[in-house]
Amino acid sequence: MSNGYDLSASQFSPEGRVFQVEYAAKAVERSGTSIGLRGGDGVVLAVEKLVNSPLFENDSGRRIFTVDTNIGMAVAGLTADGYALADIARQEAANHRQQFGSPITVNHMCERISAYMHAYTLFGSARPFGVSITLGGWDEIFGAQLFKIEPSGKSFGYFACASGKGEQQAKTEMEKYKFVDMPLENLVQSAGRIIQLAHNEAKDKGFCFEMGLVGKDTAGLHCINPEPWLSLAVQAGLEALHEEDEDSDD
Amino acid sequence: MFNNGIVQPLWYNGPSPGQFYNFPGYANNGNMKQCHETNNSDSTRSTAMITTGSSVLGIKFDQGVLIAADTLVSYGSLSRFQNIDRIFKINDNIIMGGGGDFADIQSIMRSIDQKMIEDQCYADNIAMRPKALATWMTRVLYNRRSRMNPLFIDVVIGGIDENNEPYLANVDLRGRAFSDYVVSTGFARHLALPLVREKKPADRDFTLEEASELIRQCMEVLYYRDTKNSSQYTVGVCKVKDSTSNQCDVEGPFQVDEKWSFAKMVKGY
């Protein structure tokens, strides 16, 4: 099908597709699910960390990063690419603060990262980033903001978004709710539910739940795995699992 | 001009057209040239202070540290900016008072603020401690002075270190660091330091009340005797609240209780 037009990102196919970018998206589809939910007064980012081995430490293989005091970033896809982009994001935030004396807004950060990721889709000498970045932030003026950036550099603002293996499952679950005015506790519980339901136990044995949270209740600071919300989310996930078991028993 | 078909220069060892020329026998003339060149070796930059903050005084007590400075930034002998906070809260464990060239203080504060954000990005719930910051400042200032491009500052860094121990240090523009129960910069070094050392009990630390009273007294003395001090000052407090948290704020502005009634006793008043 691709017939030689997929060897570098600098080539179009006759149908007008850039295959390398599409292959990068496939790398995202292979990774553990990551979701973002935007509520009334905060944003929750949650990740299904697929655990290949009980030898791993609990908090390693981190896929959620703090990129500025009030902005968090979740990564789906090649995690190493995600690390590099987290560093770029942090530099952008720092530069903005140094130049303009005030913190970068989430939409500006999104534009800068999109432009950066897009630049890598233009040349044959580099490959595109194999990650989908979910950016979540909160501030006094704009409130809660959620953006997702795809490997092509395309980005959208979302009320709720998902990427990775369980993307379809997660989206189905998300469409049932209206997150826009949801208080933080319910948002966190929904995140726990959605990740649990998007997880495919048959294919991937066991996962570790990781969560990033920023909102009015965290004083505008992005926190990773903060209590008591982490417990709420994990609990909600377990309850969802039991419901599912009960349904399948009937 | 032409010799064997090759163009010869019109003169040797003289000025090149379009370039700044260093006249022989004069060192480091043509300062404009040095502005544009990269400075790896000797260069004379202006190391004069322009807008300056005066003294800063830090006192350690049993539960924490107090750092006080007046709210004046002078422009030579002009009291130009009279309401400037020179005490900064760095994070929940650290406060810092800045004296010396204020532009350099602002510059280092930008770097420190960014450092604290990076600290937060590590997401390990560990905030930097004062000794770490003081060590970092020392290295930065020493390296700058070694390259003949100093940050003209004299800072007092204090706070709560690991094991809830109070920490107080003074780092100056040459990268000299010094930690003690009382540190100061500028005129306070001459006027306030002996005052505090005299009042120090031999067998124990100061209490908060004693330290506060000393700050009040020293600020008064500094106002009377240091011409570059004003009567308004702020005080940074960093003290242990309980085993896991500190109370770290900048309080003020306070006013020196000026007593000028003795002026009538001075001949010629």
CATH number for position A110: 3.60.20.10
Question: Would the CB atoms of A66 and B120 count as touching at under 8 Å?
Answer: yes
Q: Average of pLDDT values for B151-168? A: 95
Residue, of A227 and B44, whose pLDDT is higher: A227
In a domain, A178, yes or no: yes
How far apart, in whole angstroms, are the C-alpha atoms of residue A16 and residue B222?
76
At B182 the pLDDT is 97
Which numeric CATH code is attached to B52-255? 3.60.20.10
At B151 the pLDDT is 94
In a domain, A13, yes or no: no
Chain B contacts in chain A segment 65-84 (CB below 8 A): 65-69
* DSSP E strands, chain B: 2-3, 6-7, 51-53, 56-61, 64-70, 73-75, 78-81, 87-91, 94-101, 153-160, 166-171, 177-179, 182-185, 232-240, 246-255
Q: What is the DSSP secondary structure assignment for residue B268, as one 8-state letter? A: T
Look at chain A and report how many structural domains it folds into: 1
Q: Rounded to the nearest 5°, which phi and psi values hold at A7?
A: -80, -25
From the list B110, B120, B122, the residue facing A69 with the nearest CB is B120
Nearest-Cα distance to chain B for A91, in Å, is 10
pLDDT averaged over every residue in chain B: 89
In a domain, A165, yes or no: yes
Q: Average of pLDDT values for B14-31? A: 68
At B38 the pLDDT is 45
In a domain, A99, yes or no: yes
Tell me the residue type at B165.
E
> pLDDT-derived band of residue B1, with 50, 70 and 90 as boundaries?
low
Nearest-Cα distance to chain A for B114, in Å, is 7
Positions of chain A with pLDDT under 50: none
Residue, of A27 and B28, whose pLDDT is higher: A27
What ipTM did this prediction achieve? Answer: 0.73
At B262 the pLDDT is 84
Q: Average of pLDDT values for B211-219? A: 97
Q: How far is CA B101 from the centre of its chain?
A: 7
Chain B contacts in chain A segment 187-226 (CB below 8 A): 221, 223-224
Model's pTM, two decimal places? Answer: 0.79
Question: Would the CB atoms of A93 and B123 count as touching at under 8 Å?
Answer: no
At A150 the pLDDT is 96
Enumerate the residues of chain A whose CB falls inside 8 A of the CB of residue B113: 97
Chain B contacts in chain A segment 123-162 (CB below 8 A): none
Question: Would the CB atoms of A98 and B114 count as touching at under 8 Å?
Answer: yes
In a domain, A123, yes or no: yes
In a domain, A209, yes or no: yes
The top-scoring range by mean pLDDT among B23-37, B41-55, B172-186 is B172-186
In a domain, A18, yes or no: no
CA-nearest residue of chain A to B117? A69
